[in-house]
Structure 1
Amino acid sequence: MRVNLLLLSGVLLVGLMSGACRNGNTGSGGNDSGMVDGGPDASTDGGGDTPDADGGQQVSACDVAQQQGCDAGALCLRGVLEGGGQGNRCFPGECDPVAQDCGAGKKCTYVRRGSTTSRLCVPDGTVTQGGACQSTATTEGDFYDTCKAGLYCADQAATDGGTVFLCKKFCHGNAQCTAPGECIEVLRFAGSDELPRVCGEPGPKCELLAQGCASGLGCYPSPRSGPVCVTAGATADGAACTYSNDCQPGSACVKDGAGLVCRRLCRSPSGEPGCATGRCEPLQDFAGVGACVP
């Protein structure tokens, strides 16, 4: 029987770690990727990415978008796994940067203390969403940004080829973002395994079966934005995945039976590219595009 394969998720944008507002942090982008860079003491890792491109992505029982499956006092977040790769994990912490559950005059944000970064309640900032921001240091040596509660200072490419730092909204899922924005940019911090997200815009449009993105990027299906170019992953076809750009270019993360796996994209109902083995089943909401299943 012919059944639609459901695209699991959009892509995540991941950028490269840079200096500026980062206060000397070091690191590198992963494979959930994109064209956006992170904020002070962070990097936005495309849709993206963040994990090592080793196919080691896993999913736990907790749900990031719904914030379910963790004990009280813990958040379900995308995170770096002990064995490499990424997956959903429960992380204890002082507060929730989306719910903003600190007291009056405070904000919940990521604070750099020495070699670690943690979610802490600190004095609220003054910069509103979309405004220019920066990192500040306290007399005790803590680093956090000047954005108001619920926002984080993330870098973004400027029209002149440089970089600007703007306050972007924390999110657990698309419900917290205003279209065309998606909960797509992943922040990666020095001294933390947590990979929280902020609202951002997807990459350039593209053709799924033609690909045609710049080097290092792939064309992936995003349910909210359609096909977009983002940093490509390396998870092999048939292996477990969480986001479409966990997979190699030309593949996507789809629901196949009870599992979520990378499958090669094909022309549906027939044509080129076809499937080397198996059959081409149509992708829901993407006319003329399917995925190769055994």
Structure 2
Amino acid sequence: MRANVLLLSSVLVVGLLVGACRDGGSTGNDSGSENGGPDASMDGGDGGGGDTPDADGGGTTVSSCDVVRQQGCDAGALCLRGVLEGGGQGNRCFPGECDPVAQDCPTGKKCAYVLQGSARSRLCVPDGTVTAGGVCQSTKTTEGDFYDTCKAGLSCTDQPAADGGTAFVCKKFCHGNEQCTAPGECIEVLRFEGSDELPRVCAEPGPKCELLAQGCASGLGCYPSPTSGPVCVTAGAAEDGTACTYSNDCRPGSACVKDGAGLVCRRLCRSPSGEPGCATGHCEPLQGFTGVGACVP
């Protein structure tokens, strides 16, 4: 399985919204597929994992369903960030047997992502034995199905090990921050082989940084998080003025903000004035980030 991370959205002055994200995975195992580096989990809002209803969704499309509040889907379906049919990511309603956060399976069982052949589904399976933070692995049933050894409510997640390799530990499933314990946030996104669903687990945000100076390691950018401040996460490539959901959908030095009826990438600037400035438009200050704004028309 591969893990990403999303940044939670924050409110800007004059109703603008900012989101950021992070990715954090390395290699995969039987319980998932490889993902890549730090990605946008400071996720963009209540729509998918933050605190502001209209700042979540996915790469280019925002659904009406709400991940954090679990609203907008028919009975028997969950609202999750997921892979869209035309590419990119967004909020989608996914049918399934159970909810990995609510853990609504019968006693003695857990809701887990189960690999059956080439497809993976949320199913009720026998409960595991490994607690949060414990070392886990995949187990294979006599029928050939795979699921992990974590206890109910947890998922076996890859993370960098001290020796430079990869470790697999149990982390808590979440739909929003209320299911996490500080300093953890509902920011890490899991990518499972055989599934378009992108569920989340609680994780700690990335290294601190300065929004206008950037200064993160190669492949990362400095993006705003309302709960953790500016942090280094996997950098996106979306140009300014294009649609986004999370701030690290955007290229380094920009953030995803609400501009009119939609969410678009806008260049960060020094507020109320100074360098970097705005080539066009004006620098609207970001609430909670002193001296930083976004260039808006």
Report the TM range for the smaller structure's normalisation.
0.7 to 0.9
Deviation track 1:47-74 (CA, whole Å, cap 9, x = no partner) reads: 269xxxxx95211100111110000000
Matches of residues 35-114 of structure 1 in structure 2 within 5 Å?
Answer: 46-47=40-41, 56-114=59-117
Within 2, Cα distance between the matches of 1:67 and 1:229?
29
Aligned residue pairs total 272
Q: Which amino acid aligns with 1:132?
A: V
* Structure 2 CA distance for partners of 1:219 and 1:291, relative to 1, 3 Å: same
Deviations 1:142-161 (A, max 9, x none): 11111000000101112222
Q: Secondary structure of the residue that 2:248 maps to in structure 1?
A: helix
Matched position secondary structure for 2:258: strand
Equivalent position amino acid for 2:41 in 1: G
Question: Secondary structure in 1 aligned to 2:241?
Answer: coil
> How far is the alpha carbon of 1:25 from its aligned partner?
6.3
Number of the residue aligned with 2:184: 181
Specify the alignment match of 2:9 in structure 1: none
Q: Residue 30 of structure 2 aligns to which amino acid in structure 1? A: N
Distance of 2:22 and 2:40 partners within structure 1: 3
**1:214 and 1:12, CA in 2 relative to 1: closer, same or farther beyond 3 A?**
closer
Match of 2:245 among 233, 242, 247: 242
Match of 1:13 among 15, 20, 23: 23
Task: Quickly say closer, same or farther: Cα 1:5–1:24, change in 2 above 3 A.
Answer: closer
Between 136-145 and 152-161, report the one with greater CA deviation: 152-161
What CA distance in whole angstroms lies between the structure 1 residues aligned with 2:35 and 2:165? Answer: 19
For the residue of structure 1 that corresponds to 2:196, the secondary structure is coil
**For residues 126 and 91 of structure 1, do their structure 2 counterparts lie closer, same or farther at Cα, with a shift above 3 Å needed?**
same
When normalised by structure 1's length, the TM-score is: 0.87
Q: Distance in 1 between matches of 2:75 and 2:32?
A: 31
Kindly report which structure 2 residues correspond to 1:141-220, keeping only aligned pairs within 5 A, or say none: 141-220=144-223
Distance 1:79 1:209 in 2: 31
In the alignment, structure 1 residue 23 sits paired with structure 2 residue 30: yes
Instruction: Report the equivalent of 2:259.
Output: 256
Matching residue's letter, 2:256: C
1:264 is displaced (CA, Å) by 0.5
Question: What are structure 2's unaligned runs of at least 5 residues?
Answer: 1-11, 44-57
C-alpha distance in 1, partners of 2:130/2:238?
Answer: 39
Please tell me whether the aligned partners of residues 187 and 196 of structure 1 are also in contact (alpha carbons under 8 angstroms).
Answer: yes
Q: Does the 8 A contact of 1:5 with 1:254 survive in 2?
A: no
Query: Matched residue of 1:175: which SS?
Result: helix
Partner in structure 2 of residue 38 of structure 1: none
Q: Which amino acid aligns with 1:241?
A: C
Give the TM-score normalised by structure 2. Answer: 0.87
In 2 relative to 1, CA 109–8 (structure 1 residues): closer, same or farther, beyond 3 Å?
farther
Whole-Å Cα distance in 2 between the matches of residues 25 and 286 of structure 1?
A: 36
User: Is the CA contact (8 Å cut-off) linking 2:61 and 2:89 kept in structure 1?
Assistant: yes
Which residue pairs with 2:133 in the alignment? 130
Distance 1:214 1:238 in 2: 25
CA contact (8 A) 1:133 1:153 kept: yes
Question: How far apart are residue 260 of structure 1 and its match?
Answer: 1.7
Whole-Å separation in 1 of the counterparts to 2:125 and 2:249 = 34
- Counterpart-to-counterpart distance in 2, 1:227 and 1:24: 32
Q: Considering only aligned residues, what root-mean-square deviation do their CA atoms show, in Å?
A: 1.9
**Cα contact 2:18–2:224 (8 A) shared by 1:** no
Question: Do 1:15 and 1:46's aligned partners in 2 also have CA atoms closer than 8 Å?
Answer: no
1:216-267 CA-to-partner distances (Å, cap 9, x unmatched) read 1100001111000010112221122211111111111112233222110000
